[in-house]
Amino acid sequence: MNAVIRTEDLVKRFGHVTALDHLNLEVSQGETHGFLGPNGAGKSTTIRVLLGMLRSDEGRAELFGADPWKHAAELHRRLAYVPGDVALWPGLSGGETIDLLGRLRGGIDKAKRDELLERFDLDPRKKGRSYSKGNRQKVALVAAFAADVDLLLLDEPTSGLDPLMGAVFNECVKEASAQGRTVLLSSHIMSEVEALCDRVSIIRKGVIAESGSLAEMRHFSRSRLRATLKNPVRGLEDHDGVHGLKTDGLDVECDVDTAALDDVLAQLAVAGVAALTCEPPSLEQIFLRFYGDELAASGVTNGEGNGS
Ligand code: ADP
Ligand code: MG
């Protein structure tokens, strides 16, 4: 497979803080890859190294097979970058900024630009200094999605958008992906990543804790099972693959390892099933396996984002 992004044992230190601690990330061509972790995990540092804005201390980083520190100018013609907090040239209008960014990149599709201005409901005539945070974000997003580039590096790009615009953003990512573009989307919003990404890397303290397709990650996780039975079921509590079993009369609720689903369903069938639901684990539940207690109090995984 063709890797558009590859880091190998990437290390970045800021004084005594190790922001990236042997980070290995790989994103193939055409993939929409979720880069998931709470604040301070190292997402932006990784992206800044990939952009050639920061020099790594150890290890390797490659974009399209080239070192971004040495080849930043050429690489930037092939990519568009949207950070979470966009700074604009104060004296240029939004439209001028979008066109300038387009020229710095591989060029811009003008029809696409106009369509995006409509969809994001953005007035391009205002000066950079007078836009709100959300509107600065929209300027950067329109410029990125209209650019003729192979790669989108999006670092928490929806932090200033309201939910309606979040939906427009999701459509734009899907369209970019359908056109064969590669997308790296850093986020701490599970629902966004779950809706858009083929593969996900979970970053924890500068290291990739887990990487794979959502389907693979679900396979190694647990499903939530709820059933109403016709007769009491016996022996579920002794099954290794059954967790957090609760029974209330003929109602049964538990989490089941994927590998144990066959067995458990057979046991339920023996008792007779009146009603059954089985939900695959959400990305949030998978994520909590890695972060658990660290995040319990922070509210970071409520799926809505906190705009921080
Ligand atoms: P994320 O984007 O996942 O929130 P960052 O990459 O911004 O995480 O930060 C990773 C770690 O590196 C944090 O501990 C942060 O405080 C530190 N860090 C990031 N940038 C700098 C910097 N310019 N100077 C010092 N420390 C930094
Ligand atoms: Mg960040």
Q: Which DSSP string corresponds to 195-234?
A: HH-SEEEEEETTEEEEEEEHHHHHHTSEEEEEEEESS---
Which residue blocks in 151-206 are alpha helix, DSSP H?
163-178, 190-196
Helix axes 94-104, 133-146, angle to 10 degrees: 40
CA-closest candidate to residue 183, choices 42, 283, 82: 82
CA distance 161 to 138: 8
From the number of C-beta atoms within 10 Å of its C-beta (0-12, 13-18, 19+), residue 193 rates as buried
> Superfamily for 3-212?
P-loop containing nucleotide triphosphate hydrolases (3.40.50.300)
Ligand 1 mutation target, pool 12, 14, 21, most atoms within 8 A of CB: 14
SS3 46: helix
Cβ atoms of residues 131 and 59 within 8 Å: no
Extract the residue ranges of the chain whose pLDDT is less than 70: 1, 292-308
d(CA 128, CA 172): 23
Q: Find tokens 């803080």 and name the residue.
A: 17
Per-residue pLDDT, 34: 96
Q: Domain coordinates of the chain in residue numbers? A: 3-212, 222-280
What pLDDT score does 294 carry? 66
Q: Indicate which atom in ligand 1 lies nearest the CA of residue 42.
A: 6
pLDDT in the model for residue 308:
38
Q: How far apart are CA 253 and CA 244, in angstroms?
A: 8
What's the pLDDT at 202?
A: 92
How remote is the CA of residue 22 from the centroid of ligand 2, in Å? 18
What angle separates helix 133-146 from helix 110-119, to the nearest 10 degrees?
A: 150
Cα of 43 from ligand 2 centre, angstroms: 5
Residue 96 CB partners (closer than 8 Å, separation 6+): none
pLDDT of residue 282: 80
Cα–Cα distance for residue pair 187/24, rounded to 1 Å:
18
- β-strand partners of 201: 35, 211
Sign of CA dihedral 86, 89, 95, 99: negative
Residue nearest to atom 17 of ligand 1 (CA): 19
222-280 fold: Alpha-Beta Plaits (3.30.70)
Ligand nearest to the CA of 83: 2
* pLDDT at residue number 298: 60
Residue ranges lining ligand 1, Cβ < 6 Å: 14, 17, 19, 37, 39-45
Centre of ligand 2 to C-alpha 25, Å, is 16
**How big is the CA angle at 48 (ends 21 and 151), to the nearest 5 degrees?**
115
Nearest CA to ligand 1 atom 24: 14
How remote is the CA of residue 167 from the centroid of ligand 1, in Å? 29
Locate 209 and state its tokens. 């804790």
Residues, beta carbon < 5 Å, ion ligand 2: 43-44
Sequence-distant (6+) residues with CB within 8 A of 230 are: 250, 271, 272, 273, 274
User: How far apart are alpha carbons 8 and 10 in whole angstroms?
Assistant: 5
114 Cα to the center of ligand 2, angstroms: 30
Tell how far the Cα of 45 is from the centroid of ligand 1, in angstroms. 6
Q: Would you say the CATH fold of 222-280 matches that of 3-212? A: no
Ligand 1 binding pocket mutation candidate from 25, 44, 54 (most atoms within 8 A of CB): 44
